[in-house]
């Protein structure tokens, strides 16, 4: 089978690999249809941050069931599925308390083991979410990233009636903007330094936008005065500057959900830190996208949003290519963020 393989040092090649085989009674062999590149994959490729090399990445994928082990009775050949990449042990104290993302003995498809950037992948039944009949395989490849935002909304008690602010209008941010708009937010404000991303946000659910390269925190806060109460600010960019910005622009008693992953140390000046105390802010750390019953209500909610045609994926896709086209597009990033989601399309092979 064809597999997109990442080697240490950032080399990306398309190689012929052995088709994986079932090895456990709850294993499922999946024929991959679409597999997306995640922002978290970029340091794995270009910063030697993977657990091992060579590796086939890919934890945002969908496909068809080819075969299954003897203990799998609820999936049949031809069923459409999406990847649920985390595999907790389900036995430790954290798992017993349904804190699955805190499991110390977990596996993860496309990170700690080979993933979906290949024609076939074997996954545990618990790593697969059966797609409803009205969901497309392309939507299935976006289930994992959209549930990241839905998990943050869940932790915040939902967004209905709230003044939602999304800092960082990349793929995760755009999906949160669309979801929050669909789920009853009173307003949705997008903040980014890229004018094209802001235009996209305004066309797909945001009611307001600010370019933080042109306006400072005081100016953004001043222009948001009428929306300062009952705020939910979601930080997705994962930089020290945008975390500080979230605190600086927050209104009284705002909720701040931190979704973006930092790769540099965060240092807050006294004035920014004092906002947490003086404004009585609530900080929410959001990690991955799972709850009980496994894999969580976020995954059901995502499929419902797709069924209701509330999520428009077309403008979020930067490249949809075969294995070599996909490898070329990823290599061309040279460690920089994606301008649009890069997807491996194996439906044509």
Residue 33 phi/psi, 5° resolution? -105, -55
- DSSP label at 317? E
CA distance 258 to 285: 5
What's the whole-number mean pLDDT along residues 89-103?
97
d(CA 32, CA 247): 42
Percent share of the chain, pLDDT over 90: 99
Average pLDDT over residues 124-134: 96
- Mean pLDDT for 192-199 is 97
Backbone angles phi, psi at 237, to 5 degrees: -75, -30
Q: What is the mean pLDDT of residues 202-223?
A: 98
CATH number among 3.40.50.620, 3.40.630.10, 3.40.50.720, 3.40.718.10, domain 148-285: 3.40.50.720
Residue 43 has pLDDT above 90, yes or no: yes
Does the structure show a pLDDT above 80 at 51? yes
pLDDT (mean) for 97-110:
97
The pLDDT score that the predictor gives to residue 311 is 97
Q: Write the pLDDT tens digit of every residue in 56-74.
A: 999 999 999 999 999 999 9
Mean pLDDT for the stretch of residues 23-50: 97
pLDDT band at 348 (very low <50, low <70, confident <90, very high): confident
- 257-306: pLDDT as tens digits: 999 999 899 999 999 999 999 999 999 999 999 999 999 999 999 999 99
**Extents of the domains making up the chain:** 2-130+312-345, 148-285
Structure tokens at 343: 């997807």
Helical ranges in the chain per DSSP H: 41-46, 93-96, 137-140, 143-155, 171-182, 195-203, 217-223, 240-249, 270-278, 297-307, 323-333
Q: Average per-residue pLDDT in the chain? A: 97
Length of the chain: 349
Calculate mean pLDDT across residues 227-237.
98
What's the pLDDT band for 349 if we cut at 50, 70, 90? low
Q: How far apart are the first and last CA of the chain?
A: 11
pTM equals 0.96
Task: Give the homologous superfamily in CATH for domain 2-130+312-345.
Answer: Medium-chain alcohol dehydrogenases, catalytic domain (3.90.180.10)
């Amino acid at each position: 089978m064809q597999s997109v393989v990442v080697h240490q040092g950032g080399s990306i090649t398309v190689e012929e690999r052995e088709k994986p085989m079932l090895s456990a009674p709850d294993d499922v062999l999946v024929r991959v249809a679409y597999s997306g590149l995640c922002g978290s994959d970029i340091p794995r490729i270009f910063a030697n941050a993977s657990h091992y090399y060579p590796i086939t990445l890919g934890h945002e994928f969908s496909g068809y069931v080819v075969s299954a082990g003897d203990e799998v009775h609820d999936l049949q050949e031809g069923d459409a599925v999406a990847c649920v990449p985390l595999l907790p042990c389900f036995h430790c104290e954290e798992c017993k308390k349904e804190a699955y993302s805190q499991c110390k003995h977990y596996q993860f498809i496309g990170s700690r083991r080979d993933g979906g950037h290949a024609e076939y992948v074997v996954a545990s039944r618990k790593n697969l979410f059966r797609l409803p009949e009205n969901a497309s395989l392309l939507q299935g490849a976006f289930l994992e990233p959209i549930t990241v935002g839905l998990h943050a909304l869940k932790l915040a008690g939902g967004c209905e009636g709230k003044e939602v602010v999304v800092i960082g209008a990349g793929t995760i941010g755009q999906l949160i903007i669309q979801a929050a708009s669909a789920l009853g937010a009173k307003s949705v404000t997008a903040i980014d330094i890229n004018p094209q991303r802001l235009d996209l946000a305004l066309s797909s659910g945001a009611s307001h936008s600010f370019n933080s390269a042109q306006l400072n925190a005081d100016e953004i806060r001043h222009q948001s005065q009428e929306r300062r109460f009952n705020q939910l600010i979601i930080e997705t960019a994962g930089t020290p500057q945008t975390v500080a910005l979230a605190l600086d622009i927050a209104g009284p008693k705002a909720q701040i959900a931190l979704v973006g992953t930092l790769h540099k140390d965060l240092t807050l000046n006294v004035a920014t830190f004092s906002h947490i105390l003086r404004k009585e802010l609530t900080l929410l750390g959001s990690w991955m996208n799972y709850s009980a019953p496994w894999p969580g209500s976020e995954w059901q909610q995502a499929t419902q949003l797709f069924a209701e045609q509330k999520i428009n994926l077309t403008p979020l896709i930067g490249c949809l290519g075969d294995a070599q086209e996909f490898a070329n597009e990823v290599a061309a990033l040279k460690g920089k963020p994606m301008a649009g989601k890069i997807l491996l399309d194996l439906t044509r092979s």
